Amino acid sequence: MLPKLRQVISNIDYTLSCVFEDGSHKVFDVKPYLDKGDFVELKDIQLFKTAHVFMGTVQWSNELDIAPETLFLESKELVV
């Protein structure tokens, strides 16, 4: 089972700084998704900044979210 998201910070470059329950710190790049389906809405930086933790993954105020598996597996490890 993959660890759940514990903390998320949205960055102005359309990345998410993520801390997971296992203590890993990762960065998820949302830019490749911004031209796909409902993710187009996240081009609005004010909406993008509403990212928050919801049920172990990230969700925005418009209720759009990313599958927790995608968030964890496609994020790049941060050295802290």
Vertex 67, ends 41 and 56: CA angle to 5°? 105
pLDDT score at 1: 86
Q: Please indicate whether residue 79 or residue 14 has the higher confidence score (pLDDT).
A: 14
Which domains are delineated in the chain? 5-77 (3.30.2020.10)
CA distance 31 to 47: 14
What average pLDDT does the chain have?
Answer: 96
The predicted-structure confidence for 34-56, as pLDDT tens digits, reads as follows: 999 999 999 999 999 999 999 99
- Using only C-alpha atoms, the chain has a radius of gyration, in whole angstroms, of 12
What token pair was written down for 30?
A: 């949302």
Q: Are 21 and 53 in contact (CB under 8 A)?
A: no
- pTM beyond 0.85: the answer is yes
Please count the residues of the chain.
80
